[in-house]
């Protein structure tokens, strides 16, 4: 739990596949890694960016493009930002390309896609369904679990068909959408098991942690052992509704609440701040049931219709999870807090769709912060990003304290280079991901 003494050994994040970390890898501390965003790219050429830098670029470009902006995603293989552009404005395409992204003309505008999602919310709020805008296909992706059948399926299919052609598509998943309530570290309350997400500091300086909202409404006190003495009390919880998050404060104000994620096997990863997710981004999830797993972000601002009610504003991924993983941490290999495990379908044998509460939204709602950072996004990162931009073309979000670019590190992993190990002073180590 959060009050343990932190091991000196830091985790080394091995290269991950689409669904999970395939095997442990040994850190080669002095392997060369290419620098991204070095300023060598000609103006108008796509820039090589880390996922966090890509999100920063999209956050800047989106408002500037206005109605022409139709979503964006991160091409992890090419380390490029793809920006969807609706309409026939060549000026907008030039603007996107000059910013270092790749402009992609599409049919459906963001306004049309959001209108389609609103129609689904009115006509197809059926337990076992979920939808999110998929910028890679320029459609609303609607997912139905195995419980959606008969009249419910007909209703869903009718709602999708009522939309303009090419606006939405339906996919089936073999599992059942449900919060992963049961069993970072395990926490127990009211006969339920969940997972601790991220340690935080509240607005008045108290130590606490974030977990899933459906855990917070299940019981108001949580312990680190089944039927054990409570260590924390729920202060706020949202579920269902506009999110799935809860703030729990430690009952002992002297509790040490380090900004780390427990990766198992005595290893931890420092969490340097919170950041927003980007479609196509590689992410890792830690939960008390299934341990460490990885995958990609597949959708943002997702709506999920659980049996308990509708939850909006979630991150959709292909990272597996199982009951008991609820509330667990979703993060990046460079130590950015991304999400809290909410629910989904499937398991870590067959896979499935999994949904997460954005950490930045939860922090802003409860008025807390991770570590000594600022509330909301860019904690522990924004200042260095600005400095990177001013100092000659280094990638604005990929810098760590040693000046090593995150995207370059990922590109250099084939030679065994790992960012987490650099930040830990070139420690050597490995871990298994399932």
Distance of CA 379 to the CA centre of its chain: 15
In angstroms, the CA 199 to CA 368 distance is 10
Q: Helix or strand or coil: residue 115? A: helix
Residue 210 near residue 197, CB atoms below 8 Å: yes
Q: Which residues pair with 83 in a beta bridge?
A: 72, 103
Q: Can you count the helices (H) and strands (E) in the chain? A: 9, 23
Measured CA to CA in angstroms, residue 72 lies from 75, 140, 299, 375 at distances of 10, 14, 10, 25
Q: Is 214 a catalytic residue?
A: yes
Nearest alpha carbon to residue 400 among 334, 338, 337: 334
Q: Which residues pair with 178 in a beta bridge?
A: 344
180-219: string of b/e by CB count within 10 Å (b at 16+)? Answer: bbbbbbbbbbeebbbbbbbbbbbeeebbbbbbbbbbbbbb
Nearest alpha carbon to residue 343 among 194, 217, 225, 224: 194
Which listed residue (214, 219, 288, 325) is catalytic?
214
In angstroms, the CA 177 to CA 304 distance is 8
Q: How many CB atoms lie within 10 A of CB 275?
A: 29
Q: What are the residue ranges of helices labelled H in 66-177?
A: 90-98, 110-123, 150-161
Which listed residue (185, 219, 244, 334) is catalytic?
244
Cis omega (within 30 of 0) on the bond before 240? yes
In angstroms, the CA 315 to CA 55 distance is 14
Q: What are the residue ranges of helices labelled H in 288-432?
A: 359-366, 382-390, 406-411, 419-423
Q: Is 30 a catalytic residue?
A: no
Which listed residue (109, 326, 336, 345) is catalytic?
326
Q: Is 294 a catalytic residue?
A: no
**What residues are annotated to the active site?**
214, 244, 326
């Amino acid at each position: 739990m959060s009050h343990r003494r932190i091991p000196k050994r830091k985790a080394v994040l091995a290269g991950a596949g689409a669904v999970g970390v395939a095997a442990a890898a040994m850190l080669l501390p002095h392997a060369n890694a290419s620098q991204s965003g070095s300023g060598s790219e000609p103006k108008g050429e796509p820039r090589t960016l880390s996922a966090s830098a890509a999100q920063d670029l999209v956050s800047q470009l989106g408002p500037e493009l206005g109605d022409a902006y139709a979503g964006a995603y991160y091409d992890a293989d090419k380390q490029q930002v793809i920006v969807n552009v609706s309409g026939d404005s060549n000026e907008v395409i030039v603007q996107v390309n000059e910013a270092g992204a790749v402009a992609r003309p599409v049919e459906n505008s963001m306004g049309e896609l959001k209108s389609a999602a609103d129609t689904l919310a009115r006509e197809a709020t059926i337990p076992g369904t979920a939808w999110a805008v998929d910028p890679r296909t320029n459609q609303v992706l609607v997912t139905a679990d195995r419980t959606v059948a008969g009249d419910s399926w007909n209703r869903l299919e009718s709602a999708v068909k009522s939309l303009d052609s090419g606006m939405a598509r339906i996919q089936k998943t073999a599992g059942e959408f449900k919060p992963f309530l049961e069993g970072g570290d395990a926490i127990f309350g009211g006969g339920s098991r969940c997972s601790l997400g991220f340690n935080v500091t509240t607005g008045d300086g108290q130590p606490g942690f974030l977990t899933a909202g459906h855990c917070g409404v299940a019981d108001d006190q949580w312990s680190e052992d089944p039927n054990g003495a409570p260590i924390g009390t729920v202060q706020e919880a949202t579920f269902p509704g506009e999110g799935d998050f809860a703030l729990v404060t430690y009952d002992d104000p002297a509790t040490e609440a380090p900004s780390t994620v427990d990766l198992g096997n005595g290893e931890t990863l420092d969490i340097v701040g919170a950041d927003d997710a980007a479609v196509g981004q590689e992410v890792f999830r830690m939960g008390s049931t299934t341990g460490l797993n990885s995958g990609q972000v597949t959708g943002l601002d997702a709506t999920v219709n659980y049996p308990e009610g509708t939850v909006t504003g979630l991150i959709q991924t292909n990272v597996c999870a199982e009951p008991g993983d609820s509330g667990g941490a979703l993060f990046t290999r460079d130590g950015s807090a991304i999400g809290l495990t909410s629910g989904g379908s499937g398991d870590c044998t067959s896979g499935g769709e999994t949904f997460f509460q954005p950490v930045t939204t939860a922090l802003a709602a409860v008025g807390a912060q991770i570590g000594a950072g600022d509330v909301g996004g860019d904690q522990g990162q924004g200042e260095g990003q600005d400095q990177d931009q001013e100092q000659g073309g280094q990638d604005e979000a990929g810098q760590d304290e040693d000046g090593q670019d995150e995207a370059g590190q990922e590109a250099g992993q084939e030679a065994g280079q790992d960012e987490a190990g650099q930040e830990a002073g070139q420690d050597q180590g490995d871990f298994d991901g399932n």
